Amino acid sequence: MEKWVILCGYETVKDALINYAEEFSGRPDSPISSVTSNGYGVIFSKGDNWKVMRKFTLSTLRDFGMGKKTIEDKISEECENLIQAFRSYGGKPFDNQSIVNAAVANIIVSILLDCRFEYDDPTILKLMNLVNENIRILENLMVKLYNSYPTLIGWLPGSHRKLAENYKKLQDFVISTFTKLEKDLDVNNQRNLIEAFLVKGKPESTLYYHNKNLSTLVVDLFSAGMETTSTTLRWGLLLMMKYPEIQKKIQNEIETVIGSAQPQAEHRKQMPYTDAVIHEIQRFGDIVPGNLPHSPTRDLTFRGYFIPKVKSDTVQHFMM
């Protein structure tokens, strides 16, 4: 019962997301997101709430190292831990999903909570299992049916209910964590993103800086960051095994440019072959094939087609 506009092709999608970023910055309502994030956080929020949360998230991530040498050091340290974990299997086959997930999660956790977990820590294993299960559930037929017929399907048992339960468990963990942090909060010395958010909520408006936004934002960052990055890394490992000749060329470039030094972002421009292979892994792996749905914030004409702003909750015009 909803109208969709499907954008296809690199140039078209780039035009929409870059040149019409503001016009296509809205998020359509969906029954499944209403029982999970419910418009809070950053991924499925919209309007002023999305603008405030996005601005806070980007500025705070930069403050705590994103794009800076501090985060490079943390990544290098975590890489050493990951390599040691790989070596502990003595060359025997093993499932790398949990280990790679945990390594990536630790980088995100270092920004969110200013700590790290061992790869077999029950807390990080529980969080990763909840995230991975929810991502699988999102592709489930029952969820798709619930999005189409929420009144009819809502009262039935099924994966749509499990998704909501898992999301609640993730939020409960975040709430219990920042409740502990709040007791020792130092407004002049914020150690992580959660503390930075709590400080924002004290002297400033609580219109946006409240617990629902915080818990959803942290779940958004943890879930999206861990899943996409770890899946890309695992695709990379698989493809390097499948194409050893490409792996050898990359290894030669690494040894020539970096040698035994610590890898840094500045090395990227000196390593065109490795950079190209990473981009090809991302293209081939197709981690988020449909991206997230968008909704126009105003009436507009895009490439000769008139796309109206959503006028009601019953008829929606989506863009992917």
- In tens, the pLDDT along 234-254 reads 999 999 999 999 999 999 999
Task: Work out whether the CA dihedral 31, 32, 36, 37 comes out positive or negative.
Answer: negative
Rounded Cα distance between 5 and 183, Å, is 48
**Rg of the Cα atoms in the chain:** 21
Question: How would residue 318 be classed by pLDDT, with cut points 50, 70 and 90?
Answer: very low
Across 50-81, b (16+ Cβ under 10 Å) vs e yields bebbeebbeebbeebbeeeeebbebbeebeeb
CA angle 58, 59, 60 (to 5 degrees): 95
Per residue in 196-237, pLDDT tens? Answer: 898 886 655 678 898 889 999 999 988 888 888 999 999 999
Q: How many residues does the chain have?
A: 320
Residue 106 parent element (H or E): helix 97-112
Place of tokens 């493809």: 239
What mean pLDDT is predicted for residues 58-79? 85
| Mean pLDDT value of segment 52-58 | 92
Per the model's pLDDT, the better-predicted residue between 304 and 35 turns out to be: 304
Query: For residue 174, what pLDDT is reported?
Result: 83
Residue given tokens 């898992």 in the structure block: 166
Predicted TM-score (pTM) of the model is: 0.84
